[in-house]
Amino acid sequence: MTENHSSRPSQQAVTTASKLLVVDDEPEIRSLLCDYFGRSGFEVQSAQDAAAARITVAQQPPDLALLDVNMPGENGLSLARWLRDTHPRMGIVMLTSAADSVDRIVGLELGADDYIPKPFELREVLARVRAVLRRSQLPAATVGAPAGASATQSVRFGRCTLDVDARKLWGADGTEVELSASEFDLLALFARHPNRPLSRDQIMEQAHQRGWEVFDRSIDLRILRLRRKIEANPANPQILKTVRSVGYVFTPGT
């Protein structure tokens, strides 16, 4: 079963009528989130389970899906995998139990942009959702570039080319390699600092400034996903290399 929830205008909304899908099997939480986001200027739909969510997405894909992990039947992690495969640019925020660190790690590995532990503050959920939407909607000028660089950048990452201006990654054959918003942000960060080892603390500091919630393990998972996309042999990375006891370094031209 899917439900529609009308929205009211709000100057704080990320864009006019940003579309949000709330997927949670608990009616009270679903209603609470839908009412709150509706009052915040979003166009909100909801679904009580993954099956209903798939129908809703097929009819009208949202800009962002807010998914509960623990649902009867197909869980939120499986749904997140399907959403990332079928709608790579859709924002995905997971709702997890506070103690379920494994779920958070798996969700990030599947391509979720952020996670929020339960119980949550509604204002924090709103802030996290807005941050993910901003990252996916940012114009290229906000990405930043090295001093003296052109506003439009193309940066080679091994067999791929990152178009900073268009926020796209292109493969050697000219086809687009899909990136989540957080994956693009991470590649853009490395593009600004070639041949400079970046510690996890430095990456996390930049990530927090960009509005994504990270911890050491989530950085490693994002690096792993990127290596699968840009490296000829992800098991022996030559582009995003590990620097022992430090972090990672982008080595162009190798």
- What mean pLDDT comes out for the span 133-152? 47
Instruction: Give the pLDDT score at 152.
Output: 41
Instruction: Give the pLDDT score at 140.
Output: 36
Q: What is the dihedral of CA 234, 238, 244, 248, to 10 degrees?
A: -90
Q: Do 75 and 50 touch, CB atoms closer than 8 A? A: yes
Q: What is the DSSP code (8-state) at residue 175?
A: P
Q: Do 44 and 22 touch, CB atoms closer than 8 A? A: yes
Higher-confidence residue of 165 and 253: namely 165
- What mean pLDDT comes out for the span 52-59? 95
pTM (global) more than 0.75: no
Instruction: Give the pLDDT score at 51.
Output: 96
**Could you tell me whether strands 91-97 and 114-118 are parallel, antiparallel, or unpaired per DSSP bridges?**
parallel
* Greatest extent of the chain over all pairs of C-alpha atoms, in Å: 54
Q: What is the mean pLDDT of the chain?
A: 81
Neighbours of 238 (CB within 10 A): 13
Q: Binning pLDDT at 50, 70 and 90, where does residue 5 land? A: low
Q: Binning pLDDT at 50, 70 and 90, where does residue 93 land? A: very high
- What mean pLDDT comes out for the span 40-64? 95
CA distance 64 to 20: 5
Instruction: Give the pLDDT score at 205.
Output: 76
Where does the chain have alpha helices with state H? 27-39, 50-59, 76-86, 101-110, 122-137, 181-192, 200-210, 216-230
Q: At what angle do helices 27-39 and 122-137 cross, to 10 degrees?
A: 60
CA distance 73 to 127: 30
Token representation of residue 90: 């859709």
> Is the model's pLDDT at 10 over the cut of 50?
no
Instruction: Give the pLDDT score at 33.
Output: 96
Q: Which domains does the chain have, with CATH numbers?
A: 2-137 (3.40.50.2300), 140-250 (1.10.10.10)
Instruction: Give the pLDDT score at 141.
Output: 34
> Is the model's pLDDT at 60 over the cut of 70?
yes
Instruction: Give the pLDDT score at 239.
Output: 94
Instruction: Give the pLDDT score at 125.
Output: 92
Q: Do 124 and 118 touch, CB atoms closer than 8 A? A: no
